[in-house]
Structure 1
């Protein structure tokens, strides 16, 4: 049969058949009457190639699988002469490894596609409800939306946006500890006003003593909102190494101020130790 016929019979294209020839996957048949004459053996091999491709097996792996026919059946291995039995079993093991690797690759891809699907579903839901589409949680986004709208001047609004950008970056990089949700409260006029007052201050203009006072005030605000039981649970669940990694990221950006970042890190780590119930 001609190339167009074998392509149609196996559900592929003439171009693909020729591509397999170029890779050495499919033997080139002899000619008859000036055109290549494919036989049933070519059809069977091409069918197997297409079958393995549809299973997600790479062409390189397919080459190894097809070049080791002894590995396709246990009976053939068991019936092989003693001199060739070890070689046949080795070939079978190689095919098993290749197919196991192909399966692992497909499973990894499936996991990634599942993750993307879940992300898109979450983003779609947020878009439908009018929430900001962002790597940060809806609660965090709502907090920054609220403060931006309530900011009394452009300088304060700019500071809120920078903090938002930093939070976005940390969430995108996966470096925002889940416990940080406690820092972003639901609508609370008093808390929002206090937050805006802090954003209105330029840390670069504060003295070291004022930096210390501001850092302690931020920890105290959290302690005032949560019960001792909540603080203990928070301290027990938080990964202090993750907290340190977050502050290293903040330091790398240079915002809002290195002194404030370092002082906040120290105060929060000290507070976490203090919140943990004594043994």
Structure 2
């Protein structure tokens, strides 16, 4: 039979047949009267190749599998290769399942008019609220913008647990006003220097500590939900890198380090922080 007939009977294309020739998967037949003459053996081989390929076996492994059979290699070798293919397919199925779930979330956000972002809606609304409060007070919301970007990166890496929602929901109007003031004052640190700037950074850290202690238990639940071990250390390294990159001014770094030192004085916070950051939690 001619190559066109072979391809039709195998449910494929002439181009695919020639590709298999090129890969060495399908033997090139002898030429009869100027044309390649394919036999039933070629068709059977081609159908086996297509059957394996349609089962998800990569062409490179199909070549190894068929060669193993041709050479009489133990079937356990073939089984091992096919099991690896199966595991890869299962992993791909899980990946597709997660993508479908993420699309469901995107559709839900579209229907609710929410921003299309990996950041939790509650956190996005929190930053929107603070931005409005800061602007209303006549201050710049610049640090909120940077903070939002930092949180977006962390959310994209799965480092913001669902428990952040209840924590934010527990903040009352006074707490939100204080948060807005904290961000505004944090932005102002870049305009200070010397002892005045250092005092301002430390006072800002003390006010932040007071707010954290007021909501200690919900905050500890959020921190506890962030993985420990290697994943926790990765989260800490990312947080440190993003913070220093987003807030490079020395007084802003001093604020963060002083706040860490104040939190380290509380046994509960200290245990959690040191679980990620080691014995010296500093930026």
CA contact (8 A) 2:6 2:38 kept: yes
Q: Secondary structure at the residue paired with 2:141?
A: helix
User: How many Å separate the matches in 2 of 1:154 and 1:11?
Assistant: 71
Which of these residues, 215, 219, 222, is aligned with residue 205 of structure 2?
A: 215
CA contact (8 A) 1:148 1:157 kept: yes
1:53-95 CA deviation, whole Å, 9 max, x = no partner?
A: 111111110001111226xxxxxxxxxxxxxxxx84x532221
Aligned-residue offset at 1:254:
4.1
**Relative to structure 2, which stretch is displaced further, 61-70 or 50-59?**
61-70
Q: In structure 1, what is the equivalent of residue 258 of structure 2?
A: 263
Change (3 A) 1:109 1:43: same
Aligned-residue offset at 1:198:
1.3
User: How many Å separate the matches in 1 of 2:102 and 2:222?
Assistant: 26
Aligned-residue offset at 1:268:
3.5
CA contact (8 A) 1:232 1:275 kept: no
Unmatched tracts of structure 1, length 5 or more:
71-86
Q: Secondary structure at the residue paired with 1:134?
A: coil
Number of matched pairs: 257
Query: 1:52-201, aligned counterparts within 5 Å?
Result: 52-69=52-69, 88=72, 90-150=73-133, 151-152=135-136, 155-176=139-160, 180-181=164-165, 184-185=168-169, 188-201=172-185
2:236 pairs with 1:253: no
Q: Over aligned residue pairs, what C-alpha RMSD do you find?
A: 2.8
Change (3 A) 1:270 1:2: farther
**Relative to structure 2, which stretch is displaced further, 256-265 or 105-114?**
256-265
Unmatched tracts of structure 2, length 5 or more:
272-283
Q: In structure 1, what is the equivalent of residue 15 of structure 2?
A: 15
TM-score by length of 1: 0.80
Change (3 A) 1:252 1:200: closer
Q: Which one has more relative contact order, counting CA pairs under 8 Å at least 6 apart?
A: 2
**Relative to structure 2, which stretch is displaced further, 146-155 or 253-262?**
146-155
**Relative to structure 2, which stretch is displaced further, 265-274 or 47-56?**
265-274
CA contact (8 A) 1:247 1:261 kept: no
2:216 pairs with 1:244: no
1:184-215 CA deviation, whole Å, 9 max, x = no partner?
A: 34674322221211121123326333322322
Aligned-residue offset at 1:182:
5.8
TM-score by length of 2: 0.79
